Amino acid sequence: MTTVAAEKKLILIVEDDVNILSFLRAGLVCTGYDVIAASNGDEALRLLESERPDLVVLDAVLSAADGLDILRKVRNVSSLPVIAAGREEATAEAAMTLGADEYIGKPFLPGDLRRKIKELLNDWPFPFCLEQPAF
């Protein structure tokens, strides 16, 4: 009997804070995902087209661009799951109205994000990773 290894899911993180990006990447790689990252909207849209990720984690309030505008553009070309992140209730409402599948408030625990990803990808169970600080 031949066993076929499950293909790793590819997550695109759109985040302009390098510290948050490093924590997110480490936590998701530890959980068994492949991760690509963009620090701005143009790069995110390019990676979305060229790499075909399975899910996007999007900072809804990027410093150089409006993350909600990026969400709008993503929804124009794709229906893949998007988790938007931010600090304001108004941002949460806007993100969900524009088509985000989930919203997570900052700061959040890495385990909370991993659970949302697993739910959207129907990807249970997941490996144990030591919890990292909230970001």
Domain ranges of the chain: 10-118
Instruction: Give residue 82's pLDDT.
Output: 97
In tens, the pLDDT along 10-19 reads 999 999 999 9
* pTM, 2 dp: 0.86
Q: Which amino acid is at 6?
A: A
In tens, the pLDDT along 83-101 reads 999 999 999 999 999 999 9
Classify the phi-psi angles of 119: left when phi > 0, otherwise alpha if psi is within -120 to 50, otherwise beta.
Answer: alpha
Instruction: Give residue 88's pLDDT.
Output: 92
pLDDT band, very low/low/confident/very high, at 7 (cuts 50, 70, 90)? confident
Instruction: Give residue 2's pLDDT.
Output: 52
Which of 52, 62, 10 minimizes the C-alpha distance to 70? 62
For domain 10-118, which architecture applies?
A: 3-Layer(aba) Sandwich (3.40)
In this model, does residue 132 exceed pLDDT 90? no
Task: State the Cα–Cα distance between residues 76 and 14, nearest whole angstrom.
Answer: 17
In tens, the pLDDT along 24-54 reads 999 999 989 999 999 998 999 999 999 999 9
CA 46 to chain CA centroid, nearest Å: 16
